[in-house]
Amino acid sequence: MTAAPLDDESLPRDNGELVFEAPWQARALAIAVALTEELGLPWDTFRLRLMDEIANDPQRPYYESWGAALESMVVDLDLTTPAALDAAAPTERAPL
**Among 8, 39, 41, 76, which residue sits at the site for other proteins (rule: CB under 8 A)?**
39
Cβ contacts of 7 within 8 Å, gap of 6 or more: none
Q: How far is the CB of 27 from other proteins (least distance, A)?
A: 6
Report the C-alpha gap between 9 and 3 in whole angstroms.
13
Under DSSP, the state recorded for 18 is: E
Q: Tally Cβ neighbours within 10 Å of residue 65.
A: 20
Instruction: Give the residue from 10, 63, 70 showing the smallest Cα distance to 34.
Output: 70
Site string for other proteins, 50-69 (x = CB under 8 A): -------------xx--xx-
Provide the CA 32 distance to its chain's centre, in angstroms. Answer: 5
Q: How far is the CB of 44 from other proteins (least distance, A)?
A: 19
Listed ranges 12-20, 40-48, 51-59: which one lies at the site for other proteins (CB under 8 A): 12-20
**Among 4, 8, 20, 41, which residue sits at the site for other proteins (rule: CB under 8 A)?**
20
Catalog residues that contact other proteins under the rule CB under 8 A: 1, 17-24, 26-31, 33-35, 38-39, 63-64, 67-68, 70-71, 74, 79-80, 84-86, 88-96
